[in-house]
Amino acid sequence: MKQSGTSALLQGAVQDLASGVASALRGGGHPSREPLDAPLRPTGDLDLAAARVLGADLLLPGVLDHTPPPGARELDLARRAFDAYPPPATAAPTVAWSHWALGRALHRVTGPSGTAPAPGRVPEPGPEPDASWLTGAPWPSLTHHLAVLAPLALPVEDCALTRVARGRTLDVARGFVRAVRRRDWYQAAGAGRWLTVLPDVPHTLGLPGGLDFVELMGGGDSRVLLQVRAARLIGSGVTV
């Protein structure tokens, strides 16, 4: 019971962060609405863990063009979560990739050409993790893992994982349909976001209508809403 109660706390904190990002993607200002030079309120382990779980998407408004830059709180949380939760050597590939993606987003946003350039140390994402584990994965498993790593579904993103995904558009499309049928809205939203950056997506898939349906059915979950809004923005041609 202790574990489930704690997990619920964490999921609640992740939902709060995701809700702020989803709002920012819709033009609702940067997630915390705090100016970059505002004094930071103290953050605890719960906030840090939630930031690590939401990952690179915490900074998504600062990565995509025409969206407000991340607030001071998001930048601070992202930096500290990146430092606090390095993947262990035995980490699952998705854990290593999500950490790499967070470092990549921090570098994009706080680097010299970012929307919130920061003086001093800018975290380096480090070398790319291995992506060969995904190359021969069956399409349901591929879709599941790509949905977990949806923060890497960005225009012009070029890494080993996106190169694998680009070669398997039809498999991701099949996975999107499967996720909708299974009512796995989070997976459907993540797969839908991937399909907005993959080539040769069949028009018969009905992706825009599918995303509308995913939002209708699963949009009460802020993480689903975030992915659907990101997919729509990227699908409309917004670049990084």
Partner 1 sequence: MASAEKTVEEVRIRDVDLEAVLDPAEADGVYRDSRECAALAVVSGGGSALLSPPTPRPKKG
Tokens of 107: 């570098």
* 131 contributes a contact to partner 1 by CB under 8 A: no
Closest approach, Cβ 54 to partner 1, in A, equals 10
Hey, which residues between 35 and 94 contact partner 1 (CB under 8 A)? 44-46, 49, 52-53, 85, 88, 91-92, 94
- In the set 177, 219, 221, 238, which binds partner 1 (CB under 8 A)? 177
Q: 3-state DSSP call for residue 12?
A: helix
Closest approach, Cβ 85 to partner 1, in A, equals 7
* 200 contributes a contact to partner 1 by CB under 8 A: no
Q: Whose Cβ is closer to partner 1: residue 101's or residue 154's?
A: 101
- In the set 86, 216, 220, 237, which binds partner 1 (CB under 8 A)? 216
* 118 contributes a contact to partner 1 by CB under 8 A: no
User: How many other C-beta atoms lie within 10 A of the C-beta of residue 165?
Assistant: 26
At what angle are helices 139-148 and 185-195 packed, to 10 degrees?
90
CA atoms within 13 A on the CB side of 222: 20
Q: Whose Cβ is closer to partner 1: residue 2's or residue 121's?
A: 2
Residues 115 and 62: beta-carbon distance below 8 Å: yes
C-alpha distances in Å from residue 232, one per residue of 135, 173, 190:
27, 16, 12
Rounded CA Rg of the chain: 17
Residues 230 and 24: beta-carbon distance below 8 Å: no
- Site residues for partner 1 per CB under 8 A: 2-3, 5-7, 9-10, 44-46, 49, 52-53, 85, 88, 91-92, 94-95, 98, 140-141, 144, 148, 173, 177-178, 180-184, 186-187, 202, 204-206, 209-210, 212-213, 216-217
